[in-house]
Amino acid sequence: MKPIIPQQTPMVFDTFSTPVGTMIVVQDDEGIRYIDFQDCPTPLTPAQSWQRDSRACQSAREQLLAYFNRELTHFDLPLAPIGTEFQQRVWSVLAEVPFGTTITYGDMARQLHQPSASRAVGMANGRNPLSIVLPCHRVVGASRKLTGYRGGLPIKMALLKLEGLDIDSQHRITP
């Protein structure tokens, strides 16, 4: 993933191990810009100007690890994702999808009052810069089948199972 970062903004980052592999947190004075998987086909590469600062990223790391330990179901972090107006609207809907539940792309499009925009919703989810915290892993196809995920379907399945959801052999969420 090629990061979109405001010009002249000092960025700090940290990487840490999780049950689904190494993750990276990137933030500036505005808030967290990226939370991403490093063990995926297109990992986020830190820019040379970014400074590693584990203390500045400590809250995000602690909350993500608490999520993986099933001790946290809702994040309280200063988020500052960069995206288009439409992406921001999609991510706002995404932020409201509760732990342990799923939503379809079509349902999200209807919540945005754009019922024919399910593909655009899918594209916005694919550009979500805040994995797990903005839970695009909770978005499924109309048939309840798991669809693409930036971190890969094995990670999407692991996250949904961690949240207590059952997935059948066809990669569908079961009731």
Taking the C-alpha atoms of residue 68 and residue 70, their distance in angstroms, rounded to an integer, is 5
Active site residue 40: no
Which one, of 68, 51, 85, lies nearest residue 161 by Cα? 68
Contact 73, 138 (CB under 8 A): no
- Given its phi and psi angles, is residue 48 left (phi above 0), alpha (psi -120 to 50 degrees) or beta? alpha
Radius of gyration of the chain (CA): 16
Task: Give me the catalytic one of 90, 136, 140, 167.
Answer: 136
Q: Are strands 12-18 and 51-52 parallel, antiparallel or unpaired?
A: parallel
What is the number of alpha carbons within 13 Å of residue 60 lying toward its C-beta?
32
Give the catalytic positions in this structure. 136
